Amino acid sequence: MEKKEKVDSSISEYFKDLLDDIELDEETEEESEEETEEESEEETSAEDDGGSDDLEEESEEEKRRREEEQRRKNKNAEEARKRREREAKEKKARDKLEEQRNELGRQLVDFKKKYPDIDLAALDNDKRFARFIEGKLLGKKDFTQLYEEYVDFVKEIGGTAGIDIQKEHMLKERSSSGSSRSSGGYVSGGSDVYSERDLERIAARIPFMTEKEAMQVLPKFEKSIEFYKNKK
Amino acid sequence: MANTLQAQLVGLSQRIYKEWIAKTVLVQSCDRSFEGEFNLERNEIDIPVYHDLSVHKTTLKERELKPAPLEFMKSSTIRVTVDKARYSHWGHLKISTIVERLSQEDSETRKKLVNRWAREAEDELALWVAGLPSRQEIDLSALLADQTTNPNGLLTPDNIVLALDILKAKIIEKNMEVADFRLFTSERFRSIARDAKILTGANLDANEPFRKGFVDIINGIKIYEHECAAITTRSASTGLVIEETAIWKSTDGIQYVVPYKNTIAYDIPPTEVLMGAKGYQTVEYYDFFNLYPTRLYKVKIKYAVSS
């Protein structure tokens, strides 16, 4: 059996509303099947009413009883078959939905790699973006391409507004300016300063880092320390 | 930030490490990579193992019918126990003073520490190589000896190319690449090469001249000059090197890991300081390993007392 790659469930939560509502489609199919079953039952009962005039002879009765039993058996078999089909369809729909969510998750992970500053939650809440990508999600273009198209589109329509659009989606920690302090221990010292929490976490990790890892964090780390020293 | 000074010390410890490594020749030439995080309780760390891939030979038909058994790299790392540490106490009890002394760009205190640690690390490593078993030794003084013209097997301008050919041959006979190896010698080797007029100064690799200690590529061998007094013997009169243990190695010949660098506080008892206090020391845990004995050799060289 094909092994499905699992993607972080938290990231898959975004934009799931825009996926095809497979469960809903399935319910509709189930309902129509049930209706078909009911119709066939009615037909059977109608046949039963028509044949009730010739019940006097014993052999006729026996024959009728056998037919009745056969019909019941057929009906049971038919019901079992339909149930199996229904379960198979449900499983297929579940798998498809899961695959879609995984695919979306993968695309969102790729998007975060390319645009680490963009806040997915803010993007998810952007109704204009939701309208723009409706029906296009998991289509020929991936999420990153759709987002880039959206920003280009906004730029074309509104000039420099495209840049503002990106700013709107930026993580609050990075996009805010000035020296005001936000809640949750994060400060707004520009994109080149770690939050207090991150600074403490990184300080605990630095003694164990390889040269390469340390060189990646040290410039920003030292800048952050200067920033907090000056704040005192 | 609750303790910016403490965080600053952590950053400074990494900076000290970076600076002293840059001052070394031998240590810098080693493979210094490690994976994961140093286990402080068990003193263990994973270092890379460089596997050799096997090549299977078959006919095309056989290969279709019977593929070679699957070979998974069982492990790309090996867990080693780190057993060495170096540390320097700071003669101040106030963390702010230590940070101030160490963090200035041209801090004399830091410069002294960096130089000292670099020198100690180089000497320690060189002495360890000099103590390798005889199967990892190439005794050039014996190989160059000639009963009539050169009974002591001295390295001279006349036989320096032969000496380098011998070193290359030792590598080639073990099916290894000469290009992977570098020769670390004293300044006397450079003098002999200069006298032989084979010190060309023509660098085939544009990156090499920027590496500390690099001399030249002579007869296809990259020559580096180290300053480890510990593995050289000098003439009492001229001061020239008359005997040395050169090092002929590839990068993975020595795996030198420094998986923990920090500046930490410790308690000083009232017997040492009135009412007791907190002292500070910059500490590094490190160790070095030779996982591939065929990729590291010590080379015995003898020179004439005077040129």
Does the beta carbon of B172 lie under 8 angstroms from any beta carbon of chain A? no
B36 DSSP 8-state letter: E
Does residue A26 contact residue A142 with C-beta atoms inside 8 Å? no
Q: What is the pLDDT of residue B39?
A: 94
Q: What is the pLDDT of residue A187?
A: 44
The CA distance from A226 to the nearest CA of chain B, in Å, is 8
Q: Which of A198-212, A218-232, B151-165, B246-260 has the lowest mean pLDDT?
A: A218-232
Which of B38 and A5 is assigned the larger pLDDT?
Answer: B38
Could you please report the per-residue DSSP string of chain A?
-PPPPP--HHHHTTTGGGS--HHHHHHHHHHHHHHHHHHHHHHHHHHHHHGGG---SHHHHHHHHHHHHHHHHHHHHHHHHHHHHHHHHHHHHHHHHHHHHHHHHHHHHHHHHH-TTB-HHHHHH-HHHHHHHTTTTTSSS-HHHHHHHHHHHHHHHHTTHHHHHHHHHB-HHHH--SSPBPSTT-B-S-TTS--HHHHHHHHHHGGG--HHHHHHHHHHHHHHHHHHHHH-
Buried b (16+ CB within 10 A) or exposed e, B211-228: eebbbbbbbebbbbbbeb
Residue range B203-216, pLDDT digits in tens: 556 666 566 778 78
Q: What is the pLDDT of residue B83?
A: 94
Does the beta carbon of B259 lie under 8 angstroms from any beta carbon of chain A? yes
User: Would you say the C-alpha torsion A109, A110, A111, A113 has a positive or negative sign?
Assistant: positive
Average pLDDT for residues A158-179, to the nearest whole number? 52
Is the pLDDT reported for residue B149 higher than 70? Answer: yes
Residue range A59-100, pLDDT digits in tens: 888 888 999 999 999 999 999 999 999 999 999 988 888 888
Average pLDDT for residues A228-232, to the nearest whole number? 76
Average pLDDT for residues B241-251, to the nearest whole number? 96
| Closest CB from B4, B17, B21 relative to A225 | B4
Q: What is the pLDDT of residue A175?
A: 41
Q: What is the pLDDT of residue A9?
A: 57
Highest-pLDDT range among A158-162, B3-7, B219-223 = B219-223
A210, A223, A231, A232: best mutation site toward chain B, by most B Cβ within 10 Å?
Answer: A210
Please state, for a pLDDT cut of 90, what percent of chain A lies above it. Answer: 15
B4, B32, B256, B258: best mutation site toward chain A, by most A Cβ within 10 Å?
Answer: B4
Q: What is the pLDDT of residue B42?
A: 94
Q: What is the pTM of this model?
A: 0.62
B43: left (phi over 0), alpha (psi -120 to 50) or beta: left
Q: What is the pLDDT of residue B142?
A: 95
Domain ranges in chain A are 9-46+59-167, 178-231
- Chain A residue with the nearest C-alpha to that of B11: A218
Average pLDDT for residues B33-62, to the nearest whole number? 87
Average pLDDT for residues B42-49, to the nearest whole number? 93
Residue range A25-39, pLDDT digits in tens: 444 444 444 444 444
Please state, for a pLDDT cut of 90, what percent of chain B lies above it. Answer: 61
Record: contact A225-B1, CB cut-off 8 A = yes
The CA distance from A191 to the nearest CA of chain B, in Å, is 18
Q: What is the mean pLDDT of chain B?
A: 89
CB neighbour list of residue B90: distance below 8 Å, 6 or more residues apart: B98, B101, B279, B280, B281, B282
Q: What pLDDT band is residue B285 in, cutting at 50, 70 and 90?
A: very high
Is the pLDDT reported for residue A48 higher than 80? Answer: no
Residue range A135-155, pLDDT digits in tens: 888 888 888 888 888 877 777
